[in-house]
Structure 1
Amino acid sequence: MHRLTTRHGLDMPAIGLGTWPMTGEQCTSAVRQALALGYRHIDTATAYNNEDAVGQALRESDVPREQIHLTTKVWWDRLAPTAMRQSLEDSLRALGTDHVDLFHIHWPGQDWDLARSIETLVALRDEGKARAIGVANFPLGLLRQVIEELGAPLSAIQVEYHALLGQQPLLDYARQHDLALTAYTPLARGRAAEQQVIRDIAAKHGVLPSQVALKWLLDQDGVAVIPKASSRENQLANLAALDVPLDAQDRALIAGLPKDQRVVSPEFAPDWNS
């Protein structure tokens, strides 16, 4: 499988399994099945309330832990140093592992000490509890501050990105600074596959519209995707998106779709234009 690597320790399969909002046995079953089908990248977070379920799947799987890329995240209300450390310890205990492969700050904090939070994030990496570190849902201005002013050795940023939402400035910056960009909600919760342009391209190649939407992202340098899927059929279809042969005309048509449809923007979200 195609992998993304960075100079700061990231080595991540380009397709992962997103686990939100699955919990309990549904989540355990989906992760266990995904690993059996060939997935080697699992994405979770403390806020998903499913790290224990993911951990159970890891214990039940025949795939060795060292072959699995595991991402988790700390919630925005636990970004003080002691709280962040405890959050990761809780995650490691639930997941049944002594380290994660990528540890993200899930959302920017509110009235927080950014420098101390980033200092703690880096320390957790240096201590080996996270092989690589990153941030999620940071607008470009804040990401620039973390990289340029604080000098954090980030490996990745995770943001909503799909055929109906543009992230070109952020993607350009990530490439300039050797960060992978992981696209969550890569199918826009089904909206991307409903677009006639994407449906026409899928018919042209004899594939699913969802596979076209995923491959459009995967064809972009430095981009990974983490679609959520629980059924065997959908998990296999998402993996097979890597083999969809989009041509330049297909990519141009998808690039021409409106790019202003944000699906995820909770009340505590940052100013996306900052």
Structure 2
Amino acid sequence: MPMLGIGTFDHADYDACYGNIQQALHVGYRHIDTTEQVEAYYNEKAVGDAVAASSVAREDLFVATKVPPADLDQYGVRRSAEESLNHLGMEYVDLLYVHWPTGKYDPVETLDAFATLREESLIEKIGVSNFTVDLLKEAIEVADAPIFANQVEMHPLLPQEDLRNFCSQDHVDMELVAYSPIARDDVEHVTEVQEVARKHSATPEQVSLAWLREKNVTAIPRATTKDHLRENWLSLALELDDEDVAKLDAIEERKRIVNPDDAPWH
């Protein structure tokens, strides 16, 4: 899984999403994160069409999508996955997430349905999203197939230390994927991030992405312009030293961007 991807949240216009994904592939991105056809994203078809029109081979891409809470029963998981594949025009996705552990989520029924899709080669890997440590422990205990990744909000204002410590254990060995990795631009206003950015002649957003990479976390920032796509991509060349990481780790401000009332951490 490439450690830097392109997120497509709130990118519902077909033409804009199509052009954005084409540009991302041209820049060098090979990890695309999308989701089921709901109002918030509504872009799987644009993603699939852009991939099909590109010169990048499907096997060189890592494509992830998600199943919404209302479809997390046995039949809903299959229906959602098949609809996503149809919209994307693909025979499989590399990673399928449980989007939120709410709605019809049941650890055994939901994860069994995901495991069946994996056995049928409709998905390569199983993921979960917005899971707490306790929910991960429960999922690991009941799942018949390995859980590859947990996608959560993460950035210097929300470092997710408990999740990072848990997922890095040898018996867990689970990837963390960060959505909202630049806190929807709020990292721009954090003094410590600004200082590190000036030191390296970088942007605060690049510093946040580089910090995540130092934590072995994959980032999927949303970018809707050519300049932002390239700016995020250039973060791969930014190497933070121990002093930089310590400064960012010491940030006292804590902020969660995505915080619905039914989130499992409440």
Pairwise same-fold verdict (TM > 0.5): yes
For 1:33, the equivalent position in structure 2 comes to: 23
**Equivalents in 2 of 1:101, 1:69: separation in Å?**
6
**Equivalents in 1 of 2:131, 2:106: separation in Å?**
15
Task: Give the total of aligned pairs.
Answer: 260
User: Residues 77-92 of structure 1 correspond to what in structure 2 (within 5 A)?
Assistant: 77-92=70-85
Letter in 1 for 2:2: P
Structure 2-normalised TM-score? 0.94
Please state how far the C-alpha of 1:174 moved relative to its aligned partner: 1.2
User: Residues 244-255 of structure 1 correspond to what in structure 2 (within 5 A)?
Assistant: 244-255=238-249
For 1:157, the equivalent position in structure 2 comes to: 150
Q: Does residue 21 in structure 1 map to residue 14 in structure 2?
A: no
Secondary structure of 1:131's partner? strand
Of residues 191, 198, 205, the one that matches 1:210 is 205
For 2:43, the equivalent position in structure 1 comes to: 50
Judged with a 3 Å threshold, the aligned counterparts in structure 2 of structure 1 residues 82 and 74 are, in CA distance, closer, same or farther, namely same
For 1:6, the equivalent position in structure 2 comes to: none
Does structure 1 retain, via aligned residues, the 8 Å contact 2:67–2:81? yes
For 1:167, the equivalent position in structure 2 comes to: 160
Does structure 1 retain, via aligned residues, the 8 Å contact 2:69–2:104? no
**Equivalents in 1 of 2:112, 2:208: separation in Å?**
37
Does structure 2 retain, via aligned residues, the 8 Å contact 1:56–1:95? yes
User: In the TM superposition, what whole-angstrom CA distance separates every residue of 1:64-94 from its partner, at most 9, and x where no partner exists?
Assistant: 1111100000000100111110000000000
Please state how far the C-alpha of 1:175 moved relative to its aligned partner: 1.4
Please state how far the C-alpha of 1:151 moved relative to its aligned partner: 4.7
**Equivalents in 2 of 1:142, 1:260: separation in Å?**
22
For 2:184, the equivalent position in structure 1 comes to: 189
Does structure 2 retain, via aligned residues, the 8 Å contact 1:15–1:41? yes
**Equivalents in 1 of 2:263, 2:199: separation in Å?**
39
For 2:69, the equivalent position in structure 1 comes to: 76
Letter in 1 for 2:47: V
Structural RMSD (CA): 1.3
Structure 1-normalised TM-score? 0.92
Seq. identity, %: 38
Q: Which runs of 5+ in 2 are unaligned?
A: none
